[in-house]
Amino acid sequence: MKPKEIMLNIQEIDTTMDDIGDDHIVTSYETPLREDAFVMNDDEKIKAIEGKFRDIMEILGLDLKDDSLKGTPRRVAKMYVKEVFSGLNPENKPQARLFDNKYKYDQMIVEKNITFYSHCEHHFVPIYGKAHVAYFSSGKVIGLSKINRIVQYFSKRPQVQERLTIQIAEEMKKSLKTEDVAVVMDATHLCVSSRGVGDTNSKTGTAHFSGKFKNESIKKEFLNYINSK
């Protein structure tokens, strides 16, 4: 193959990969992780990322001897591992403590307006918004703070909103041993508003309804509640 043909093929690959990112493709329900994802501990990952991010900053032409910048590679590395991507590590998964439904409460239980922050896996820029989660008790109830923690755990990883919605719903079903779960999410994607088309007004909505929430009247009741002031 001639050099010009190779260059054309590389450009075609780059264009295709850009299109995949802009088209917001979801490839799997599970977050794509390598089998050796946790061979390194957190400290080792921070050290490795610090070096790589330093390289990125130097390639961009930034002067890392400047007082404002010299600590940035380590700050970013610690932020990635300990904060914004901490949901990748299963050791950080919240343990959902259940309680007997002693009041025999048989109506839907709703936790709405849960603020979440995540990162688009296509461009590594923020996704932020509100999650609304509901369920019917099958004999057990979960502490309300644990619902927030489940949302935060799955949010703190590179994500696409569709997968995030499903992961939260499936974890709720597993924890509560019920299919009667609903999740609705509204979010702003900075990969849309701060780059690309530059649309600062649009939001993305996703939903998952299972069990009793597939009943139109129950679904409508839930949606009316989360949309009410």
Active site residues: 120-123, 161, 189, 191
Single-letter amino acid, residue 152: Q
Total residue count of the chain as it appears in this document: 229
Please enumerate in sequence order all residues whose Cβ is within 8 A of that of 157, keeping only pairs 6 or more positions apart, or say none.
Answer: 31, 85, 87, 88, 118, 119
Is the separation of the CB atoms in 137 and 110 below 8 Å? no
Strands 158-159 vs 109-120: parallel, antiparallel or unpaired: parallel
Q: What does the alpha-carbon distance between residue 133 and residue 181 come to, in Å, rounded to a whole number?
A: 8
CA 105 to chain centre: 31
